[in-house]
A and B are shown apart, each in its own frame.
Chain A
Amino acid sequence: MSDNLISVNNVCVNFDYQENFISKKQKIHAVQNINIKIKKGSFFGLVGESGSGKTTLGRAILGANKISSGNVIFHDDDKDYDLTTISKDELKEYRKKAQLIFQDPYAALSPRMTVRDIIAEPLEVMKITKNKQETDERVREIASKCRLNLEHLRRFPHAFSGGQRQRISIARALVSSPKFIVADESVAALDVSIQADILNLLKNLRKELNLTYLFISHDLSVVAHVCDVVAVMYLGHIVELAPSKELFNNPKHSYTKALLSSIPSIDPEKQSKAIELTGEIPSAMNPPSGCVFKTRCPNPGHDCKGGDIEMGLIEVSPGHWVDQCCVISK
């Protein structure tokens, strides 16, 4: 049996773009040649440039985005699901096991449904419970795990604060007993105190319910605290991947270094040490050859400009992977 829950192998996701119906079709290279393994029970962090393909990759792993090439395999205890060849029935099964926590707790919850109905909906849609009594029991169980008050179940979402709503969406995502959760910017809109509270909740639930997370976030300080392994994305590629402590203490890729230096701080002194990036952000329709970060890199090596070194990760120390161009060119 594999230690990994998810294997992502050489995955590419492209979108078509057409300016109008007579012009030529172009491709947006949203995700390019991604290889990752997500260990069972881990908190896998995904950070990176806006538009670099984090959401697209997360959705591809959930089977919600078409994969253009490569494959994603979900290693369940008794069988493997290959998302490129998955049948309709299997996809239904898979949806119970892999869930998304939405980014926006306001938009994600229907204002006309009670909290009980919102949490119960996946059970009913996926026909997991047999009758209303069983559904109610399950809803109450998960609600109390997510520290929601049982009397709150009768209420409508508008009566709740953002933090409580986020717990409602977490309860909804967890109610079908999934094994894998993609949390896409799930705490971005919350203030730091509630973020900390929800992250602690996710951490505790991981142990209690045997969960594995893919945690997508812009907030590196949050990622540093909760994730075991972090992958950094830029323009469709993973440019660095390492255990989070290693990544934070010993970043190798120039983009990662810039990211870490730019974390906003309330200390003005730290602020002034931020590496300021200039230069054009390249387009996903027309990515540069070689290192995709070279147009904004503050300290490109001699061989970077030529763009002859193809992108690809190499292991520089156990578990620490860096794009090869950044290693070879220096």
Chain B
Amino acid sequence: MEELLKINNLDVKFDTDEGRITAVENISLSVKQGEVLGIVGESGSGKSVTAKAIMQLNPGNTIYNDDAEIIIDGENVIKFTSKEDLMKIRGGKVSMIFQEPMASFAPAIKIGDQMVEQLLLHKNIKKDEAKTISLDMLTRVGITDTEKRFNQYAFELSGGMRQRAMIAMALSTMPKLLLADEPTTALDVTIQAQVLKLMKDIIKEYKMGVIFITHDLGVIAQTADQIAVMYLGCVVEKGPVNEILKNPKHPYTKGLIAALPDVNNLEAPLKPIPGNIPSPLERPTGCVFRTRCPHPTKEGKEGKIDMKLVEVEPGHWVDQCGAKCG
């Protein structure tokens, strides 16, 4: 199937009082039509920053490298500057479900008005049509009393309802590419299952491409086709989701899987990956994971192996340093 999104060699840096922070370093990812790419990784690994780069939503102190490409429908959107061009991606071809639903609703405007306004902006439809679509979407994400919720403000909804309203709003414009940043973290598992099913149906029906960001490997296993594991701004492993979860090669991916709480053994202690994530101001040279690697090779530990993905099985890519250690 056709490639909808292609990210090539993207770096994202931020200028701050304390110096330049590297949030994302040299990542390349792609999403086909109808495909779900799951991104997992530690807090601060650069998942949200990557998604925001696609929408060109990172703040003014952001610096992209000159040779970075983010290609959607054949156009390099990273070079977009005009308002018209940006409108084509934001809410048009691309929709985003934000990690903080509170931040994505204007506090003083009713939920319904925001949904309608967004539809009117991007679709050639009338107001009552927009309202019908919005109410229908709210129902489909499992919200009841939709007419009433429509007239409420974001702060009046519970965390999970806000998140579902956000999902409804993002799906209502039927984007080609959906960026979902932790879309179901605030939902209880039964509603999560319901919402995931709805998302999968809509993705299939409209052949959307999706980037699904979550720290929940169980959710990834249920929804994604491909997975990319990020650590400190780098992709350390990527490939088909079943292959990676069954046969992880990178010590970080292995650590994440081992840290999953075991519901069948409540006595077992929780097993975090030892050590702390370095501050983005103190990125290790060479393999970014080497300060926490349980069984590093000698060269790896000394930072002598540069980061570079190598293909270990067809479609299964691992950072070359991580592929060598235990």
**Which positions in A face B, CB cutoff 8 Å?**
15, 17, 19-20, 47-52, 55, 103-104, 106-107, 147, 152, 155-156, 158-166, 185, 188-197, 199-200, 218, 220-222, 224-226, 244-245, 248, 255, 258-259, 262-268, 271, 274, 276-277, 280-283, 285-286
Contacts and interface: CB of A to CB of B under 8 A. Distances in A.
B43 A191 contact: yes
Given A161-B42, A161-B277, A266-B245, A188 B103 contact: no
Interface residues of B, number: 71
A50 B260 contact: no
Contact of B261 (A48, A188, A192, A281): A192
Contacts of B222: 264, 271
Interface stretch (B5-13, B63-71, B210-218, B302-310): B210-218
Given A50-B160, A55-B158, A160-B279, A192 B259 contact: yes
B17 interface: yes
Nearest to B156: A15
A163 B280 CA distance: 13
A163 B42 contact: yes
- In order of increasing CB-CB distance, the 8 nearest A-B pairs are A162-B43, A50-B160, A264-B218, A161-B44, A196-B270, A191-B215, A197-B272, A196-B272
Contacts, number: 199
B43 to A, nearest CB: 2
B43 A196 contact: no
A286 B147 CA distance: 14
Interface string B260-290: 1111001011111100110111000000000
B191 interface: yes
6 contacts: A164-B277, A185-B159, A191-B256, A194-B272, A225-B266, A268-B221
Interface in B145-194: 145, 148, 151-152, 156-161, 163-164, 182, 185-194
A121 B273 CA distance: 32
A255 B187 CA distance: 15
A41 B242 CA distance: 42
A224 B263 contact: yes
B142 A281 contact: yes
Nearest to A199: B270
Point out which of A160, A224, A225 has the most chain B C-beta atoms below 10 A from its C-beta.
A225
Contact of A163 (B186, B245, B255, B277): B277
Contacts of B86: none
Contact of A264 (B103, B189, B266, B272): B189
B41 interface: yes
A244 B189 contact: no
A112 B233 CA distance: 24
A188 B192 contact: no
A159 B159 contact: no
Given A55-B158, A258-B190, A264-B193, 13 more contacts: A51-B161, A107-B103, A158-B21, A162-B42, A163-B42, A190-B215, A194-B42, A221-B263, A225-B266, A259-B188, A262-B192, A262-B193, A281-B143
A12 B116 CA distance: 35
B250 to A, nearest CB: 14
B217 A192 contact: yes
A206 to B, nearest CB: 15
Contact of B182 (A159, A189, A264): A189
Nearest to B197: A276
A196 B260 CA distance: 9
A283 B192 contact: no
Given A161-B43, A190-B215, A264-B216, A200 B272 contact: yes
Choose among B41, B100, B144, B270 the residue with the greatest number of A CB atoms under 10 Å from its CB: B270
B257 interface: yes
A232 B267 CA distance: 21
A147 B274 CA distance: 13
B187 A50 contact: yes
Contact of B44 (A48, A162, A195, A244): A162
A159 B16 CA distance: 9
B99 interface: yes
A277 B270 contact: no
Contacts of B235: none
B42 to A, nearest CB: 5
B120 interface: no
Contacts of B270: 195-196, 199-200, 225-226
A225 B269 CA distance: 8
A221 B261 CA distance: 6
A277 B194 CA distance: 8
A194 B43 contact: yes
A319 B98 CA distance: 41
B29 interface: no
Given A218-B186, A224-B263, A159 B144 contact: no
A264 B163 CA distance: 19
Contact of A192 (B187, B194, B256): B256
Contacts of A263: 189, 218, 263
A222 B189 contact: no
A230 to B, nearest CB: 11
Nearest to A154: B18
B161 to A, nearest CB: 5
A267 B246 CA distance: 9
Contacts of B96: none
Nearest to A276: B193
Contacts of B190: 49, 255, 258-259, 262, 277
